């Protein structure tokens, strides 16, 4: 059985990086705290899971947020 922890850690890291970058960019653009938070959440929601190391396998599992219709 493959250990899912490395993939989970990679996904967590990618989510944090995307959220922090979006929050920073939104602040530079002059958005208020609420707007910055919305930008951070949007960045996580639009994260391309296939670009995360090991994401190809995760993108084809149910509930992974894949853009491929089931």
- pLDDT tens-digit series, residues 3-62: 899 999 999 999 999 999 999 999 999 999 999 999 999 999 999 989 888 755 544 444
> Higher model confidence: residue 33 or residue 67?
33
In the predicted structure, residue 69 carries a pLDDT above the cut 70: no
| CA separation for the pair 19, 70 (Å, rounded) | 27
pLDDT at 53: 82
| CA separation for the pair 5, 9 (Å, rounded) | 6
Q: How confident is the model at residue 64 (pLDDT cuts 50, 70, 90)?
A: very low
Per DSSP, the residues of 2-67 read --SHHHHHHHHHHHHHHHHHHHHHHHHTT--HHHHHHHHHHHHHT--GGGSTTHHHHTTSTTS--S
């Amino acid at each position: 059985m493959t250990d899912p922890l490395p993939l989970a850690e990679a996904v967590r890291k990618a989510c944090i990086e995307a959220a922090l970058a979006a929050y920073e960019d939104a602040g530079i653009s002059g958005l208020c705290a609420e707007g910055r938070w919305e930008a951070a959440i949007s960045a996580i929601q639009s994260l391309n899971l296939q670009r995360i190391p090991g994401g190809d396998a995760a993108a084809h599992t149910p509930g992974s947020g894949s853009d491929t219709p089931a």
